[in-house]
Amino acid sequence: MRIVLTGGGTGGHIYPALAIGREAQRRQPETTLLYIGTKRGLESKIVPQQGVRFESIDITGFRRSLSMENVKTVMRFIQGVRRSKALLRAFRPDAVVGTGGYVCGPVVYAAAKLGIPTLIHEQNVIPGLTNKFLSRYADGIAVSFADSKPHFARARNVIHAGNPCASAVVDADPAKGYASLGLRTGTKFVLAVGGSRGAQALNHAIAEMAPRLSGMPDVHFVFVTGERYYEETQARMKSLPATDADRVHVVSYLHNMPEVLAAASLVVSRAGASSLAEITALGVPAILVPSPNVTNNHQQPNAESLAACGGGEMILERDLTGDLLYERIAAIMGDDARRREMAAASRRLGMPEAAATICFQLEALVRRR
C-alpha cells in the first residue's frame, strides 16, 4: 500500500499518525509512507527523524474571533488544497489518513475531491475544528473515546478504535523501567509528569507537598519536571531530609517513558489523549490534572472519561494544592486493593490493538474502492 499521513502542530497529532503508519508497514512490509505537514510544526523535525518522507504545505489555523487573518487563512487553505493535490497526484496513494491539526484539513479535503479513500482519527473526547469539518468528506472516522461518537452523529463509518499510541507501549518492559531508576523490581513509586515541556502548576504542587513525603516512607517518587522547571524544582527538593531525598528522583525528561510508566504504581499526569492512551493500555492508576490552557478545554472531558470508569481521579488545576495532591496520593498508595481495582478499570478502558483496528478499517476502505 501507499499511504499519506497528515496531522501536526503537536505530538498528540503526530505520534498517532506515525503509529498507524508503523502498523501498516508491519501488516504489509511493502507499504510506502509519505507525511504531509507544515515546516513550522513539530512534524517537520519528528517525522524525518523517524525515517518517513516528509513534504510540507503552507497553512495556518482559524482564529476564533473575527479577524482579517482568517481571510488570509482561507486563501492559504485554497493554496494548500492545490499543493496537496499536486503531491497526491505525484505520490498516487491508496489512502490518506488525517489525525487532526489544521494541516490535515487541505490534505484530506484534497484527497476526498480526488476520490482517494480517506480516514480521520480523533484523539480527544471533543473533536477539534478540523476533524469536525473533515467528517463531512472522510470515508471513515476512528475515535479514541466512545464518548466522541455522538459528536460525529451525521458522519459515516465511525468506529471506536482507541488511540494508536497505545499500541506502541503495550509491550513496554517494567523491569527496564525499574533498572533505569536504580530501583529494585516491585518497588512502589509514584510517577508525576507534566508532559515533555513540564507543567508549572503540577511542579509547584509537587514542591509544596514534598515536606510531607515522610508520611509515605515505603514509596518512591519520580518527578519529571520538563527542562524549563528542572533547576527550580531540584533546588526545592534539596531541602528534604536525607531519608526522604533518597526516595525522590527529580529528572527533566525520561527517554524511556513507556518502560517507567509500565513499572509505576500510580501516575500523576495531564490528560492529553496520547498520555491517556498509554496509561490505559498499561493499566496504571492515575490522578489527572487536565490543562485548562488547551483548545475547547478538551483535556477535562478526557480526564472525566477515565474517572467515570474508576481508573483514575481528576483534580482541576484551579483546585490543585500540595496538600490536596498529597492526600489523594496517600489515599491510593495506602490501599493496595483500591489500586488494583483502579488498574483493572484503567486496563478495561485501554485499547492496545488500536493501530491494528484502524489499519483494518483503512484496508477495508481501500478494498471498497
User: Per residue in 256-307, pLDDT tens?
Assistant: 999 999 999 999 999 999 999 999 999 999 999 999 988 778 899 999 999 9
Q: Is 49 a known ligand-binding residue?
A: no
Describe the strand order of the beta sheet including 2-6 as a list of residue ranges: 53-56, 32-37, 2-6, 95-98, 118-122, 140-143, 158-160
- Confidence at residue 66, expressed as pLDDT on a 0 to 100 scale: 53
Nearest to 118 by CA among 365, 357, 360, 368: 365
Q: Same domain for 250 and 325?
A: yes
Cα–Cα distance for residue pair 248/216, rounded to 1 Å? 12
Q: Same domain for 190 and 293?
A: yes
Q: How confident is the model at residue 235 (pLDDT cuts 50, 70, 90)?
A: confident
Cα–Cα distance for residue pair 35/54, rounded to 1 Å? 5
Q: Same domain for 214 and 106?
A: no
User: For the residues 58-62, what does the mean pLDDT come to?
Assistant: 73
Q: Same domain for 233 and 133?
A: no
Question: Are 108 and 15 within 8 A, CB to CB?
Answer: no
Question: Are 168 and 27 within 8 A, CB to CB?
Answer: no
Q: Is 295 a known ligand-binding residue?
A: no
Between residues 4 and 42, the one the model is more confident about? 4
- CA distance to 168, 309, 325, 350, per residue, from 315 (Å): 27, 16, 8, 21
Strand 189-193 relative to strand 158-160: parallel, antiparallel, unpaired? unpaired
Q: Is 299 a known ligand-binding residue?
A: yes
Q: Is 61 a known ligand-binding residue?
A: no
Which pTM was predicted? 0.84
- Confidence at residue 222, expressed as pLDDT on a 0 to 100 scale: 95
Q: Same domain for 142 and 180?
A: no
Between residues 322 and 156, the one the model is more confident about? 322
Structural domains in the chain (count):
2
Q: Is 98 a known ligand-binding residue?
A: no
CATH number of domain containing 330? 3.40.50.2000
Could you tell me the residue range of the domain that residue 301 belongs to? 171-349
Between residues 239 and 132, the one the model is more confident about? 132
Q: Same domain for 216 and 302?
A: yes
Q: Is 79 a known ligand-binding residue?
A: no
Q: What is the mean pLDDT of the chain?
A: 92
Q: Same domain for 301 and 338?
A: yes
Look up residue 305 and give its three cell numbers. Answer: 472519561
